[in-house]
Amino acid sequence: MTQAPAAPTEIAPGLVVQGFTPPLKLSDFKLIAFDMDSTLISIECVDEIADAVDKKAEVAAITEAAMRGEITDFKDSLRRRVALLRGVTIADMERVYTERLRINPGAAELIRACKAAGMKVLLVSGGFTFFSERVRDTLGIDFTRANILEIESGPNCGQLTGHLVDQAWGDICDGAEKRRTLLEVASLLGIEPSQCIAMGDGANDLPMMGAAGLSVAYHAKPTVRAQAMVAINEGGLDRLLEVLR
């Protein structure tokens, strides 16, 4: 490999690399893992759900602090936010999905290119299965892991209790669980972590990004951009294809 650049280098407007010299070969990678909220999709779902009970500002402030890394206990921060969602109806969540959630530019194109190269795709999210399963189906994603919101009977197909449902793998998909899931799927596929790409925007994405062979920050917080091997600061997710040939 060519001598890696010592400092971050902007190889095109809004596209920064560090720690290697592009291009890399897409065919050298076998798995790409994505965060969901603000990476694959345009919103932070928990903030938009909170809007239904007039608590968006309160929840969004916690989300922002957690993504910047100022709140280091992601599980506690998520429990606090989910508790504020009590009483949100399934109909409210349907409106968030149909009216506010948008797939980010370049997501479909990047996933299509990765799959054409024989790669598998993982979505691993600190968000919720209500949204991640629909995003999975829309984009043709192979594996997902996210949190389940507890629902009780109520108006409009039920309502949120303010709690999460424990799953076989654990209670909450935080940064440590994202990393563990990436390594678990890699092992399932019989590949090395060095053959994985991990892409995210917030502090709880850093553990999985650190475990992967290529880490990518997408319109990310400064702490995440600083540690990523690729930072896409302008344009769509498919700008990664300017680095991978």
**Pairing label, strands 196-200, 31-34:** parallel
Rounded to a whole number of angstroms, the distance between the first and last alpha carbons of the chain is 15
| Catalytic residue (one of 28, 37, 47, 54) | 37
Distance CA 93, CA 65 (A): 24
Backbone phi and psi for residue 17, each to the nearest 5 degrees, phi listed first:
-125, 155
Would you call 73 a catalytic residue per the annotation? no
Q: Could you confirm whether 51 is annotated as catalytic? A: no
DSSP letters for 89-128: BHHHHHHIIIII--BPTTHHHHHHHHHHTT-EEEEEEEEE
Residue of 28, 35, 92, 238 with catalytic role:
35
Strands, sheet with 230-232, edge to edge from the N-terminal-most edge strand: 9-12, 15-17, 230-232, 214-218, 196-200, 31-34, 120-128, 143-152, 159-165
Active site residues per annotation: 35, 37
